Amino acid sequence: MADRYSFSSKPHAAGGFGHIIKGHDNDLERDIAVKVLSRLRQAFTEAEVERFRREARILAKLSHPNIPAIYYVEIGKDEATFLIIFQFVEGANLRQLLTAQGACAISEVRNWFHQIASALDYAHSRGIIHRDIKPENIIITPDRESAYLVDFGIALSAEESKKLTEKGYALGTPGYMSPEQVAGKDLDFRTDIYSLGVTLYEALAGKPIPVGAYADLSASDESIPPQIDELIQECFYPVERRVPTAKAFSTSGRCSQTSQAPI
């Protein structure tokens, strides 16, 4: 393995329980990303190891143009062998773009969020709830044409989610979690739709959604049609009335890319 791969000495990015190192596959002559389980204490806890294994299993099941492809998984007994090798995506995450430039143009956001919704719909069709949709987990390529959904570290199948929430656990990122996720209730795929709406608002506003009364995007930016505000607010409805699927998010009258709709 040492002959085939070469690695950067510095982390490329960090997540909740692991860090990313950029590398190169010398045999296939392609850049790779390596996710390594972080050593937070003297030894890995069972929970840390299980989360890493879960991400590897989830990634191995997924094959979609907007989800980085997995190439190799190695799970051993020391830090050096707890790793996932997958497609390296050049670019910056949406959080970095928002910090650097503020709000993104709606023409770009339309394209990105159709791709992310497509990736999410695909994951949902495989029984996977992402549970952590947020700007940090959306990678935008340098040409700003493609978006990737990353970091399935706390993704769960619907059945796993049910078992976890029965014990009262709430995993996710405050500010992006659905009310039912915050409450530790039983979840389905619509929890990701809530988070998608929060993230869409932030991409267009350049700042987090305000707490309390909803502030219309269309009122402060005439390039954003009122239907966008309607779509986002429908993502926040109680779960039984919420936008039901990621596909519906992309293809409904308010969010398709037709001339009759805003996204």
132 tagged catalytic? yes
State both tokens at 18.
């692991």
Q: How far apart are CA 80 and CA 198, in angstroms?
A: 37
Are the beta carbons of 92 and 114 closer than 8 angstroms?
Answer: no
DSSP lists the bridge partners of residue 67 as 64
Q: Which of 121, 132, 151, 229 is catalytic?
A: 132
Q: What is the separation of C-alpha 192 from the centre of its chain, rounded to a whole number of angstroms?
A: 9
**Which has the closest alpha carbon to 38: 72, 69, 83?**
83
Closest CA to 20 of 192, 156, 153: 153
User: What is the separation of C-alpha 244 from the centre of its chain, rounded to a whole number of angstroms?
Assistant: 18
Catalytic positions, written as ranges = 132
